[in-house]
Structure formats: structure tokens, C-alpha cells
Amino acid sequence: MNTPLLSVCLITYNHENYIRQAIESVLMQKVNFDWELIIAEDCSTDTTRAIVLEYKEKYPDFIKLILQEKNVGPAKNWKNLIETPKSKYIAYFEGDDYWTDPLKLQKQIDFLEFNPDYVLCFHQVNLLKPNGEIVDDFITKVPENYETIETLARLGNYIHTPSVVFRNIIISFPTEFEQSPMGDYFLYMLLAQDGKLKYLKEKMAIYREGVGIWSAKSEYLRNLNTAYTHALIVSCNHFDNPVSLVLLDRISLFLKAYENQIGKENLNLLNTCTKVNDCIYNYFLNKNKTNLSETIQMKSSKELIKEVLLRIKKRLWNK
């Protein structure tokens, strides 16, 4: 069999209520190229595995399975999946979402084939609310200057996973990639170093709102995971200094918003490298300088700095 032009990568865990619709939305695609479907199943506790095995039996040449022997978690399962294809392009989505346009893949592949300066193509989606209502996307807003890595770094993830087709150009992922709670955003940042992003204003997929692990997290935890992902991206040293500085600024904004909630354990989590360490340290240094200015006005600047540093060390890293 020839190497397929496109690999559809579908990640799933405990999606028994949704996985059939996800797979059927792949099978309905009309394309004029060789392709395959790869499903990574993370040892579900429901009937998800039985369902994907059923489809594998029906389509043995088209469907490939990655069946984890034990639950490895979404990060490792995702990494195993995304590193498997040898194809030129990858389309990725999760087992609780599905596609609605049978020409979705053809449209995106056609664009990428004729526009080599673009590394990723994404599109509008509709949201399926828990009550069954399908509505316009109210979660993300795609900015005007969406194509560049600088915008992606500054504004965060405005790309829904079921909308993505990208060039399979990453030879090896940094070790930090598997640690990231936002593997999709990390992936888009890696890709955006080598080209532009294209947004198609066609609604060709459904994203289930309020279903996934990410949706279930509190606002603080979502923002902590975002800041942690930024810290990991900075730590991997794959990015130019201006991009890293933008990500460090976003970490500082997280600290400003949640400085009264974040504890030593979470601060240690963010402390992925010297650059992030300095960012955290400088934030609290400047913050404490302001807070202490009235109470220790009579002290010398040297004494002031010493007292501030002792307070920061006690809060962040001293046992």
C-alpha cells in the first residue's frame, strides 16, 4: 500500500455515546487521494474499545488502531497518536466531536497543496450544547491577524481541534510536549514556526461544549493549565526570543490575576526553566516592592531588596 496523503488521527477515551458519530463523520468524507484513519483508544472503562474494534473489523485496510494496554492518560495517548502517521498531512480530532461537511478534508487538502507557505488549515465550527441545541461558536474568536505565530502566542488558542488539517513536518517533539495539558496549542505553536495558518469561514464540524475534560475544569485550573503550557513552550527553547517574551508576559498576567489563589505547589509547577523562574521572581519582586514601600520607607534600598527576596523565597521555594 502506498503511503497515504492524509492520516485522520482520532483520540478517544470513554466516548461510547459519541464515537460512532465521530467515525461515521470520517467515513462520509469524499476525497480523491489515498488516506487512512488511525484511532488511539486509551483503555476505556466503557464500550468504546469494543466499538472501535467493530469498525476495524469492517474496514481493516482503512482503519489502524493504537490500543493502549493500560490507561496512559490523554497526553501520552495523544503523543503516541500524533507521532504515528507517515503521511504528508494529518487531520486531528477527539472522539466526542464530529464533522458535518463531506468535502471538509478535500477542501483543506486542496488549499494546503496549492499554498506551500501555509502549515495548517482550520475552519469555523458549530457548538453542540448539553441540551442538544446547535449554536454558533461563542467560545473562540478568530482575530484579524490570525495567520502568524506572534498572534497565536499573544492571544492563545483560537483553533478548535476538529477543524484542523496540518502538514506532518515535525520530525521530533520536545520532551515538554508530553507534559503539556494543552497539546493542541503546543502543536500549533511548533507548526507556526514554519509557516502561516489559514482560516476557512465554513462551518464543517461540531464541537461538543461542556463534555470534555477541559470543559469540566474550573476557571482557575483552566488558566493555570494555560500558563503551564506557556511555561513548557518557553522551556523547550524552540522559539525566537520575541515569541518567548510574549509567552512570559502572559504568565505574568496569570500571576496578576490569581496571585491570591496560587500556592507554592502550582508556582513550582510553572517553574520550568530559568526564563520562567526569572519571570515569576521578578513579578513578585516588583509586587512586593510596591506593597512594602510604605511600611519600610526608612530602610535602605539594599535592606529593602533583601527583605523582599526573603519573603519571595519563603513563599515560592523554601521548604
Own/partner contacts of 66-73, CB < 8 Å, gap of 24 or more, are 66/38, 66/39, 66/40, 66/41, 67/41, 67/43, 68/40, 68/41, 68/42, 68/43, 69/43, 70/43, 71/13, 71/42, 71/43, 72/42, 72/43, 73/42
pTM of the model: 0.86
Whole-number pLDDT of residue 99: 98
Residues in the chain with pLDDT values less than 50: 214, 216, 292-301, 319
The domain ranges of the chain are 6-216, 230-316
**Contact predicate 236/191, CB 8 Å:** no
Q: Per-residue pLDDT tens for 25-50?
A: 999 999 999 999 999 999 999 999 99
Q: Per-residue pLDDT tens for 189-201?
A: 999 999 999 999 9
The residues near 63 (Cβ < 8 Å, ≥ 6 apart) are 36, 37, 38, 39, 52, 55, 56
Q: Per-residue pLDDT tens for 247-265?
A: 999 999 999 999 888 888 8
- Count of C-beta atoms within a 10 Å radius of residue 64: 16
Whole-number pLDDT of residue 213: 53
How far is 123 from 97, CA to CA, in rounded Å?
Answer: 14
Own/partner contacts of 288-296, CB < 8 Å, gap of 24 or more, are 288/312
Superfamily for 6-216?
A: Spore Coat Polysaccharide Biosynthesis Protein SpsA; Chain A (3.90.550.10)
How far is 176 from 232, CA to CA, in rounded Å?
Answer: 6
Whole-number pLDDT of residue 283: 86
Q: Going along 74-158, which residue ranges are E strands?
A: 89-94, 98-99, 118-128, 134-136
Whole-number pLDDT of residue 239: 83
How far is 299 from 200, CA to CA, in rounded Å?
Answer: 60
